[in-house]
Amino acid sequence: MSRGREAEAPFTVMGVVNVTPDSFSDGGLYLEATAAIEHGLELEEQGAAILDIGGESTRPGAAPVSAEEELHRVLPVIDGLTERGAAARISIDTSKAVVATEAIAAGATLLNDVTALRGDPEMAGVVAQTGVECCLMHMLGDPRTMQDDPRYDDVVAEVKSFLEQRMEHAVRAGVAEERILLDPGIGFGKTVEHNLELLRRLDELVALGRPVVIGTSRKSFLGRLTGRQDPADRVPGTIATCVLAYERGARVFRVHDVSGVHDALVVTAATVAPWTTRPTSSTR
Ligand code: HH2
């Protein structure tokens, strides 16, 4: 049985399932559908209430993938998770409307679009018509160029204004505002200092009134701060940022390492504001 019990918990852990050969931290590990399905089920067991399935890497310099190839990667995983009775919700991490459409037909109920509906003119219509939730993320430039000397006058104000505009765009296209989640896009066109400033002042984005998603997991700014070259060694850094982001109002945490983040957030949430139903009665 899953440890998540997220219906009662004041946070949601979104486990990352990258069905790609080239993702920055787990590329190639789950390219086979069977491995990705097993991994998704394991993340659910560890406390993920959402599984974010992606078939195209967004790391700086990643090669673009055709819609056909992306579908070939993600659909068997969504189908397999459904067949195996996964209780976690399925999120599709794509910026292509055709991929979103097929993934939603297969059971995805959340669209995670790192382009915030800018990548495909049809995407806002897909979200509006299907009624799924969608996560709008900030990115400066595109994955090929985003880390080439990113600059802002005030990174938090600019990210906030971007997210407000994208939310307005989505609502104009018929997306219900209450179906929208917002994400500052940690590492997407940001220096180490930009990422830290966004985390430090996260409450300013929370003030937009929609749930804030945070994706710091294993990212390179954690490596720059700690000296950890191997992304898998950045779990303590990931946990630190998730705890801090929760305290500043983030509620959805997109991570590769669900177990540790989940437990850290259980303790953080219980400390910050006790919630009535505890996930465990242990007093150890
Ligand atoms: N980060 C990545 C991908 N998708 N989506 C949201 N909403 N927020 C994020 O911060 C975010 C995201 C990058 O991480 P990963 O999927 O592990 O790497 P890759 O893009 O190389 O597959």
Per residue in 213-226, pLDDT (tens digit) is: 999 999 999 999 99
Q: Residue 27: its pLDDT value, please?
A: 87
Alpha carbon nearest to ligand 1 atom 18, residue = 23
Mean pLDDT on 170-182: 98
Is the confidence at residue 167, as pLDDT, over 60?
Answer: yes
Find the residues whose C-beta lies inside 6 A of ligand 1: 16, 18, 20, 23-25, 54, 57-59, 93, 112, 114, 135, 137, 183, 185-186, 213, 215, 254
Atom of ligand 1 nearest to the CA of 22: 21
Which ligand 1 atom is at minimum distance from the Cα of 18?
Answer: 22
Interval 67-92: pLDDT, tens:
999 999 999 999 999 999 999 999 99
Catalytic residue among 179, 201, 219, 251: 219
The reply to whether 254 belongs to the active site is: yes
Question: Residue 180 has what pLDDT?
Answer: 98
pLDDT of residue 276: 53
Ligand 1: nearest atom to the Cα of 62? 21
pTM, entire model:
0.94
Q: Which of 3, 73, 89, 254 is catalytic?
A: 254
pLDDT interval class at 25 (50, 70, 90):
confident
Task: With cut-offs at 50, 70 and 90, classify the pLDDT of residue 52.
Answer: very high
Sequence-distant (≥ 6) Cβ neighbours of residue 225 within 8 angstroms: 192, 237
Per-residue pLDDT at 277 exceeds 60? no
Does residue 11 carry a pLDDT above 90? yes
Q: Is 151 a catalytic residue?
A: no
Out of 59, 118, 139, mutate this one to test ligand 1's pocket (max ligand atoms within 8 Å of CB): namely: 59
